[in-house]
Structure 1
Amino acid sequence: MSKPDTMQRSRGQLATAYAPHSLFTFEGGSGACFALPSPGNRTAGDELRPNTQRMISEQIQEYFEAWATRARRGTNLRHDVPLNLAVDGRVISDDAVRVRFGDLAFQVPDRVGYVPFPLSFVCTRCKLHRHSDRVERLADEAARFRNACPSGADNCANDWQQLDVVYAHWSGNVEPITPKYRSWQDGQVRDLDRCTSCGSDRFLLHRPPGRLGNWEFQCVNCKLPRPMQQRDLTTLEELGPLLAQNQALPAEINMEPVSYRASAAYYVHGDRLLVFDQERYIQLLGSAQTTLLSAFLSTEYGYPPTNLDDAEKEALLQAAGQSAQWDTYRRVRDLIATLERMPQIEPAAIAAQREMIARQEAEWNETVFAGQFEAVEGIDRACRERGDYVRRFDPVRMALEHKTLTEERLQGRQMPDGKSASVDVTILDDFLFPDDLDADARARLLDQVRLRRDLLGIEEMRLVRDVRVCEYTFGYTRTSSSPVVMRDKAGSAEMPVRLRLFDKVPVGDRALHPVLCLIQSNEGLYVRLNEACLLEWLEANQIQLPVADPGVRLGGRLIEQFARMANDEDVRFSRFLDEYRRERSVPRLAYPYVYTLLHTMAHHLLGISASMSGLDLGSFGEHIFVPDLAFLVYRRGMTMDLGNLSSMWRDRGDPAYGNEVLDRMVDPASLRCGSESVCNHRGGACPDCLLIPETACLTRNELLSRSVLIGRGFPRWDAEGRALTGYYEVARRRTRADATP
C-alpha cells in the first residue's frame, strides 16, 4: 500500500474529530476520507513525566476492563459474548484484558494521515454502481468504469459521485456500500458478489428519498433486485457456527448503512487527568506504599495517632537521623510552657510558637511516625483494596491529588509574570478588581462577596491561573459510544459494542499504538464547601454516615463509607454508574449524596460562567475531590488562554453585590428549569438546566440533581423518594443565624 497523505489541523481536532479511523470530508463537503495514524507525530515525553504516562496507561487498562465487563453481560442474547467482540483482540492475553504499557506511544497530535474512502461510486445519470478495493488501483479502475455503462462506453456520462453512506457495525468495522454479500456456509465465510440469476457483476443503485434501508441494488442484465445488506466479517467469524443452531441472531451480525457525516460512524474514546510537577503524594498510590498511604490519610483527616511518649519519639527520630530537630522541638515546647506563665507576653507570640510546633508534628506524623498509626478498619481497607476502584471515583486518589493541588497551586505560588497562581475571591489582587474602585468600594465589594459565599455554603473559593490538564484519546467505537447497543430487529437483546485501539504506527524501531495527548494550561475556579454546613445538610436529610471519633473530619468518614460500598453491587461506583441509572434503588448514603452535591454545584457554576465569560459549555472541564468537599472547574482548550475567567470575574464585580457570578448562583431563579415538571420527574437534571456536553462531564451527566441544592425533589436513584432539604437552604439558614445579634 502506498504511503498515505498527511494533513495538519488544530491539535484538539486531530485528537477528536480527525482522530485515527474517523471519516471526514474536506471543506466544501466533498471528497470523503478515512483518517489513519501518522508516524510523524512527536512523542510527548518532554511534557509528560513518566509517572503521568504510567497513570494514563493505568486509566486505559481500567477503561478496557470496565468496558469488557459491561459489554459482555449479553442481556437477552442466546449465547455468551466472546471477549473478542467486546474489546480489541490486541488487548486480550490468556482470555483476559491486558493493555501493555510498552505498546503505547504518547504523542502530541500535529498531523494525521488520510486516504480516500469509501471507494464506492454511482453514476449520476444511469445509477450504475462501481467500486475499487485499493486506493493505489483507483485511478486505473476509475478510467474503466465507463466500460460497464448500460448505454455503452461511448454514450457514458462518466459523471461519478462518491457515495456518502457506508456500512458500519458495533464491532468497529466500516465498509463501503457494495452489492457484495457475505454469508456463513459449510463452516466458513463466503462472499457473493455476482447476480444469483445471471451471474452479472454490474448493478444499479436505487436511492429513493427516506430511510437508507430503502436503498437497493438491481442487476443491470436481468433486473433482479438485491437488498442493500452486509454482514460484519469479525462477528460472522465468531458467531457463524451459532447461526445454524439458532443460538445467534442475524441482527447481531448485520451491518447497517450510516452516513459518514453522522456521529454514529465514529466515536473517539479518551479521558483526562490533572498534571502536577511533584509526585511526593501521588507516589503513595504504589502497591508497596500501603502503610504510608494509610498513615497519610489518618493524619490528613484527623484520626488519632498511637500515643507515643517522648522516649519512643526520640528513638524513632534518632533512627531517622533527626536528633537535632528533636532537640529544637523540645526547647520550643519548653519555651511555650514558660511563656504561658508570663502574663506580659502577647498571646500572638505564643500562638506563633504553637503553630511552629504543630507544623513539625504534622511533618513527623506523615514521615517518621507514619508507621506508628493504627488506621481504622475503613481507611485501611480503602488503601488495601483501592486497586479495584474506578480511578476517577477513587476517594484515596482524590485526596492525594487535592493535597498536591493545594501545595502546587493554592498556596502562595507565583507565576513567571509575577501574578499569584491562585487568588482567594474574598481577598483578590489588583488584576481582579474592577477598574477605578477606591479602597472603600473595594472593601464593600469584598464584604458582599463574603456574604454570598456564605449563603452558598462555600468555605473557600479561589481563581486558579495555572490549571494543568492532560486530555488524551486512545481508541474508538462505531454506532454507539457506550458498551452495548440495542436494535429493533434484535428485540430486547443488548449487543456488545467493541472498543478498539488506534492502529500501530512506527516509532523508532518498533510499532506502537498512539495515545494522542493534549497538554493544557488554563484558568479555573476552585470551590471548597463548609464542612459544618455540609454535616448539617446530611443530618437534615437523614443521610447515613459512618460513626467516627471526635475530631475526625468528614472526608475520612466518606472514604470509609466508599470502601464499604465498593463490595456492594447495588451501590458501588462502577465505570458507567449503572447502579445510579435505576430508579428508587439506592439508600441514602453520604458518599453518593456528597458526590452529587459537589457535581451539581460544579455544573451550576459552569452554566453561569459560560453565560458570562463567552465560553461555551463544551469548553469547560471539571474535577471532583469528594473527601475534601471540593471541586475544580476550568477552561479546556489548546488555544491561547486569554484570561476568560479572570476577565469575567473582574468585569462582573460591583460593590453593590460583590460579583455577579456569585449573585446569580444565590438567586433561586438561576436553577429554574424550562422543563420543570419533566425535569423533576427524571430526578432534577436535564438539558434545560444542569446537563452539559457529555465529553466535558466526568460522569456523562450522571449523579446530578437540582434537588440537592434547592430541594423540591430527590435524585431518581433515591430509594426513599422523599423530598430533600436543599443545601442552599441550610446555608442561608446558618448565615442568617450567624448574623443575628
Structure 2
Amino acid sequence: MTEVRMQATPYRASSAYYVKSDLFIDFKDGGQQLLTRLRPGREEELKGFIATQYGFAAAPLSDEDVEAACRGKDECVRDLDNYRTASNTIRSTEHLIEGMQEPNKAVFKSLLDQAYQNKQGIVSDLRRRLILIPTIDLPLSVLANLRDRQSRFASKFDPFRLAVEHATLRQNRLDVEKSENGKKKYVSFTRLDQDLSPEAADETAVQQELTGNLLNKLGVADMGLIREFDLCSFSFGYSRMESTPVLHDKRGMNMPVRLNLFPPVKVDDRQKAPVYVIQQSNEAIYVRLKEQVVLDWMRSLDCHDMFTLSGEEKLGAGILGVARPMGAFLDELPQSSAPPVYFYLYTLLHSFSHLLMKHISEYSGLDPGSLGEYIFPADLAFVVYRNGTTMDLGNLCALWRNSGNAMLMSMLNLKATQCGTGSLCTHRGGACPDCLMVPETSCIAGNKLLSRAVLRSIGSRAGRIDTRPGTIRGYFDVASS
C-alpha cells in the first residue's frame, strides 16, 4: 500500500483560494411537513413519499391497518370514529342495493359514493399527517440508492432529497394561486398574471399562444417566473492549488489537497471555527421538461441500463432506480463505452440550464456570474436564479416583458447550440467557454456533465461519459419530430 503525505502549500502558490461551500433552498416554515422525511429515522416515511410521488405500487390499506395506526393516539379518536361510521355506511348500503330495482338505486348510490369519499378523505388526511404509513414494495435498485443515499450522493446531487425539495417547492410556490396586488408567487409564461401581461389586454392571449408553441418546440412542459426563490448558501473552509479533494501529481499519484477552516473567531470567550451564511430571496425562472419527450430521447440513446415503466409509474420512478453515485466534486465520473442513462439525463438538464443562463444574460444584461442553477433530476426540472445579495431590480421580470418570446426563439435557433471557437469540443462532444460553460461560481457541477450534443445533434456523443462511435439525437430534434 502506497502512503502519501498531504499536499503542502508551496511558496510559489497563488494567493487565490477555492472556497468550500454548499447551498439549499430555504423554505422557512412552509415546508417542514415534507422536509422532515429527510431526517434520520424517517426512512419509512421517505419511502412512502417516493412511492406516492412517482407511482410505485403500494399494498392496499385495510380497515385493520387504519385501526392499528390510530389505536392509542388521542389525536386520532375523532378520525377513527368517522372512519368506522363511513365503513359501516358502505357495508349496510351495499347490502341494501343488492336487492333493489334500478330506479331506486340512484339515491343509495349517491349515499354510497359520499361514504367512499369520506373514507378516502380520512385516509388521505392520516397519511398527510404521517400517522398512516402504507406498506411499500419498492424495486431493489431504488431501495439500494435510498438506503445509501448519503454515502453515494452529495447533498446537491441527491435525487431523493431533490425530489422532496421539488415537492415542497410546488407546495409553497408553483401551485399557489393566491396573488397579492396582481402578483403571484409563481407565474407560468403561458398563464400570465396582471403584472407580467402586456398593457393591451387583447395581446395577452396572442403572446401566451406564441409562448406555448415555442415551449412545445423546446420540449418544455412548463416555464415561468418564481418571484422569490429563497436560498441559503454557506461556506466553511477553503483550499489552495486545487478545487477538488486531490491533486494529480507528476509522479502519477493523487496527492490530498489540504482543506483549511476559516480563521477562528472568539465567541463567548471561546475560539470557534466560523461558518459564513448568506440568505437571499431573488427572482428565478423555473423549467420542467416534457416527460414523454424525455422518455423518447432516453430510449434513443441505447444505454445498457435503460429501464421500463409499468402500471402508474412516472418517469422519475425509473430515474431513481438507475441513479449513479455523484460526489461533491464529480471527480470520479466514468469514461465508458457503456454509458449510464442517468448521467445522460443529468447532462441534458444541466446543458439546458446553461443554455438558458447564456440567453438570460444576453437578453437581460445580467452577467453570467450573477446567475445560479438548481437541478431536480427525478422531476425533469431545473431553476435558474439571480444569485447575489445586491438589490434585485426585477431584471427577470423585465426580461420577459420586453423580450421573452424573442429569447425562446433565439434558443431554438441553430446558432444557439453552435460553438464559435472551433471543432475541438464539437469533435469530443463536450462544451467549452465559448458555447455552454459559465463561471464556476455559477455552475452547480463545476462545468462537468455538459454537452451541446444532448440538445441538438452535432455529429458526436456526449463527451467522456460515452466513448462509443457514432452520434446521438439531440433533445430539440426529438421534441420537434
TMscore range, shorter length: 0.7 to 0.9
**Offset at residue 303 of structure 1 (A):** 1.0
**Offset at residue 81 of structure 1 (A):** 2.4
Contact (CA 8 Å) 2:188, 2:224: kept in 1 or not? yes
The one-letter code of the counterpart of 1:450 is G
Name which of 28, 34, 41 aligns with 1:281: 34
CA distance in structure 2 between the partners assigned to 1:730 and 1:360 by the alignment: 44
Contact (CA 8 Å) 1:314, 1:326: kept in 2 or not? no
Contact (CA 8 Å) 1:294, 1:379: kept in 2 or not? no
Contact (CA 8 Å) 2:183, 2:194: kept in 1 or not? no
CA distance in structure 2 between the partners assigned to 1:701 and 1:633 by the alignment: 15
Equivalent in the alignment of 1:709:
455
The one-letter code of the counterpart of 1:552 is E
CA distance in structure 2 between the partners assigned to 1:395 and 1:683 by the alignment: 26
CA distance in structure 1 between the partners assigned to 2:114 and 2:371 by the alignment: 41
**Residues 303-382 of structure 1: pairs in structure 2 closer than 5 A:** 303-310=56-63, 312-313=65-66, 316-317=69-70, 320-321=76-77, 322-326=79-83, 362-365=124-127, 367-382=130-145
Q: Which has the higher contact order (CA 8 A, sep 6+)?
A: 2
Q: 1:391 to 1:353 in 2, by over 3 A?
A: farther
**Residues 526-605 of structure 1: pairs in structure 2 closer than 5 A:** 526-543=286-303, 544-562=305-323, 565=324, 572-580=325-333, 583=335, 585=336, 587-605=338-356
Q: 1:510 to 1:549 in 2, by over 3 A?
A: same
Which 5+ residue runs of structure 1 have no aligned equivalent?
1-77, 86-169, 173-254, 566-571, 654-658, 734-741
| TM-score, length basis structure 1 | 0.57
**Offset at residue 313 of structure 1 (A):** 3.9
Q: What percentage of residue pairs aligned between the two structures are identical?
A: 34
CA distance in structure 1 between the partners assigned to 2:442 and 2:399 by the alignment: 20
Q: 1:341 to 1:685 in 2, by over 3 A?
A: farther
1:298 corresponds to 2:46: no
Equivalent in the alignment of 2:156:
392
Q: 1:309 to 1:598 in 2, by over 3 A?
A: same
Q: 1:315 to 1:578 in 2, by over 3 A?
A: closer
**Offset at residue 316 of structure 1 (A):** 4.0
- Range that drifts further, 459-468 or 303-312: 303-312
Equivalent in the alignment of 1:406:
170
**Offset at residue 496 of structure 1 (A):** 3.0
Name which of 448, 469, 475 aligns with 1:721: 469
Question: 3-state DSSP class of the match of 1:693?
Answer: coil
The one-letter code of the counterpart of 1:410 is L
Q: 1:267 to 1:377 in 2, by over 3 A?
A: closer
CA distance in structure 1 between the partners assigned to 2:89 and 2:417 by the alignment: 54
Contact (CA 8 Å) 1:171, 1:478: kept in 2 or not? no
**Residues 425-504 of structure 1: pairs in structure 2 closer than 5 A:** 425-434=189-198, 436-439=199-202, 441-485=203-247, 490-504=250-264
The one-letter code of the counterpart of 1:420 is K
CA distance in structure 2 between the partners assigned to 1:444 and 1:352 by the alignment: 43
CA distance in structure 2 between the partners assigned to 1:328 and 1:650 by the alignment: 55
**Residues 197-346 of structure 1: pairs in structure 2 closer than 5 A:** 255-257=10-12, 265-277=16-28, 278-310=31-63, 312-313=65-66, 316-317=69-70, 320-321=76-77, 322-326=79-83
| TM-score, length basis structure 2 | 0.86
| Higher CA-based Rg | 1
Q: CA RMSD in A?
A: 3.2
Which 5+ residue runs of structure 2 have no aligned equivalent?
none
Name which of 622, 641, 646 aligns with 2:397: 646
**Offset at residue 315 of structure 1 (A):** 5.4
Equivalent in the alignment of 2:268:
508
**Residues 42-61 of structure 1: pairs in structure 2 closer than 5 A:** none
Contact (CA 8 Å) 1:603, 1:691: kept in 2 or not? yes
- Range that drifts further, 373-382 or 291-300: 373-382
The one-letter code of the counterpart of 2:474 is G
The one-letter code of the counterpart of 2:391 is M
Question: 3-state DSSP class of the match of 1:480?
Answer: coil
Contact (CA 8 Å) 2:61, 2:134: kept in 1 or not? no
CA distance in structure 2 between the partners assigned to 1:406 and 1:461 by the alignment: 13
1:672 corresponds to 2:432: no
1:521 corresponds to 2:281: yes
CA distance in structure 2 between the partners assigned to 1:494 and 1:308 by the alignment: 54
Question: 3-state DSSP class of the match of 2:282?
Answer: strand
**Offset at residue 279 of structure 1 (A):** 2.0
